[in-house]
Amino acid sequence: MSGVHGVTPLSPRQVFTVLCATFATAVYAFTWNSVTVALPHMQGRFSATTDQIAWVMISFIIGSAAMTASIGWVSDRFGRRPVFLWAIVGYMVTLVGCGAATTLEQEVAWRFVQGLFGAALLPLGQIIAVNAFPKERYVQATALWALGFVSANVFAPAAAGIIVEEFGWPWIFYLPIPVSAAVLAASWVLVPHAPKNERPMPWAGFLGLIVGVSFLQLMLARGERLDWFESTEIVIEAAVAVVGLYVFVVHSMGSRRPLFSRRLFVNPDFVTGQVFSFVVGGVMFLPVLLLPLMLQQVAGYSAADTGYLMLFRGVGSMLGLIAVSIIRGRGDPRLILLFGLAISAYATWSMSQWTVDVRPWDVMWTSFLHGLAAGPIFTPLNSLTLSRLKGRVQDQGFAFFYLNFDVGSAIGTAAIVGAQARLSQINHSVLAEHISPLREALHGAHLSGPWSLSETSGLAALEGAVSRQAAMIAYNDCFLIVSLALAAMVPMILLFRYRRPARARG
């Protein structure tokens, strides 16, 4: 029976089903954003270096990539409802494991498993939310789901800062458990069954891709520490990565049932979009990783203050998505993409000019611009890349797009963390060359007392100052790399084809 103006009224069950899917996705988003604020405290707890603690993020992304590549097959094979319920259960278990981990190795292992289960909550949550409402209310269902997802992204950093300061970093994993349990109970009752499609899994291509990407990631993350190809471990990891990716490519080109349809790659817009997806995934979110480390370890901000400052990125993201939704379809999406890349590159370039005395206002407005750029980048990029795909190829196109994004994120994270560690060492060596008793400038009155070269405490103070400056310069260089990578993508926008929609005849 139709309601007002022919719109089908909603039942309480439909509304609560959407809320279940929304809260499941929100828990995933909260954990993802909270960990970045807690990384410096986790680093101290595990006595880890910057490149080592980055594996808390990298392992999560690798696990997410593995599930993203197979979620379509897993959902078809076992059913959407059982997979969604088991994903919630698995995610709850990993929350306990991550919070209780006593070594970095345990934390990394639990985060990998968390990525496996968590990656399923995002696409399945959206599908469940959309299918809960009638077709004429699809947009409303998507908006409600997106509101929960974006809200969790917005408020997670500030909440995480308070949690870390008041209770300790393990509680960013413990506190979401009651919410997850409530979502699980409600989903058990509300989420409907969906038909299965027991299609065969192209295991050769899938395993080749996952093994190749994982070992490539391991090589990039450990290469700087082990002096690259001077190490037997790095040589072995590189060889396994090449073999795995070779198997994936050969299987994709020659198999009757490839992991991803070959028809995807005859679409030039799709191919161009994958280059964008990989690069944007590799650099767009690096400031989210680098900022908490820099602010707490170099600039001296607390975890709570860091969370509040990063809140502005979330506010910018929400406003950017609202603005894009208003202007969407009214102009060339390539111009919107250009705008997003330009303001993101400018914000990151501004970060590359900071000093160790960076002001809160500098962090606030650059973070806001980064968030504001997210909508103008991802919405038109998604449209330009995937809008021309039809039928089942469209599902595979979405899966490959987000898989490519995850792979780019993992590789970009490993590369930039390795670069930061290397640049810090180089900068420290260069700066330390200027600290010598033979330099007259170091014997002035301003260096007496705590800065005295004749006292052990003075030398320790100078070493700390040199280390801070070296680390800050390294962060500046990393932000500059991100800015240049984003700017380099601007000319490639011209490779996308765009046709203006035909005007309706009236």
Same domain, 73 and 30: yes
- Which of 223, 239, 258 is where one domain is finished? 258
Same domain, 218 and 192: no
For residue 447, the model assigns a pLDDT of 54
- CA angle 501–502–504, rounded 5-degree value: 120
Mean pLDDT of the chain: 81
62 vs 109: CA distance, rounded Å = 11
Same domain, 177 and 322: no
Same domain, 274 and 423: yes
212-226, 287-301, 330-344, 428-442: least confidently modelled range? 428-442
Helix (H, G, I), strand (E, B) or coil at 285: coil
Same domain, 213 and 275: no
Same domain, 246 and 270: no
* Residue 293 burial (CB count, 10 A): 21
In order, the DSSP letters of 27-63 are: HHHHHHHHHHHHHHHHHHHTT--HHHHTHHHHHHHHH
For residue 106, the model assigns a pLDDT of 92
Evaluate whether 40 touches 296 at the Cβ level (below 8 Å).
Answer: yes
On whether residue 505 sits in a domain, the answer given is no
On whether residue 61 sits in a domain, the answer given is yes
Average pLDDT, stretch 263-280?
Answer: 86
On whether residue 442 sits in a domain, the answer given is no
Same domain, 50 and 62: yes
For residue 98, the model assigns a pLDDT of 93
Highest mean pLDDT (candidates 61-65, 115-119, 190-194, 395-399): 115-119
Same domain, 223 and 85: no
116-130, 267-281, 305-319, 447-461: least confidently modelled range? 447-461
Evaluate whether 20 touches 84 at the Cβ level (below 8 Å).
Answer: no
On whether residue 504 sits in a domain, the answer given is no
On whether residue 2 sits in a domain, the answer given is no
Same domain, 182 and 289: no
Decide: residue 82, CB within 10 A, 0-12 exposed, 13-18 middle, 19+ buried.
middle
- Which of 197, 219, 241 is where one domain is finished? 197
76 token code pair: 């078809």
Average pLDDT, stretch 472-477?
Answer: 92
Evaluate whether 287 touches 482 at the Cβ level (below 8 Å).
Answer: yes
- Which domain range does residue 219 map to? 203-258
300 backbone dihedrals φ, ψ, rounded to 5°: 80, 20
Average pLDDT, stretch 63-84?
Answer: 79
71 vs 92: CA distance, rounded Å = 19
397 vs 405: CA distance, rounded Å = 12
Average pLDDT, stretch 258-263?
Answer: 76
Going by pLDDT thresholds of 50, 70 and 90, the confidence category of residue 506 is very low
Tokens 């705008």 locate to 339
Predicted confidence (pLDDT) at residue 234 exceeds the cutoff of 60: yes
- Which of 197, 218, 236 is where one domain is finished? 197
Q: Which amino acid is at 104?
A: L
Going by pLDDT thresholds of 50, 70 and 90, the confidence category of residue 6 is low
Tokens 């680093």 locate to 43
Average pLDDT, stretch 185-191?
Answer: 85
Same domain, 284 and 253: no
Same domain, 239 and 171: no
On whether residue 266 sits in a domain, the answer given is yes
Going by pLDDT thresholds of 50, 70 and 90, the confidence category of residue 4 is very low
For residue 344, the model assigns a pLDDT of 92
Going by pLDDT thresholds of 50, 70 and 90, the confidence category of residue 452 is low
On whether residue 3 sits in a domain, the answer given is no
For residue 378, the model assigns a pLDDT of 79
Rounded to 10 degrees, the C-alpha dihedral 206/209/210/213 comes to -170
CATH number (domain holding residue 14) = 1.20.1250.20
Number of domains in the chain: 3
416 vs 477: CA distance, rounded Å = 10
Same domain, 172 and 220: no
Q: Say which residue, 301 or 79, is predicted with more confidence.
A: 301
On whether residue 1 sits in a domain, the answer given is no
- Give the CA distances from residue 455 to residues 30, 314, 441, 450, 461, in Å, rounded to whole numbers and listed in that order: 48, 47, 17, 8, 10
Helices 333-351 and 303-327 cross at an angle (nearest 10°) of 160
Going by pLDDT thresholds of 50, 70 and 90, the confidence category of residue 136 is low
DSSP 496: S
Highest mean pLDDT (candidates 17-31, 135-149, 150-164, 468-482): 468-482
pLDDT digits (tens, 9 = 90+) for 109-125: 999 999 889 888 877 77
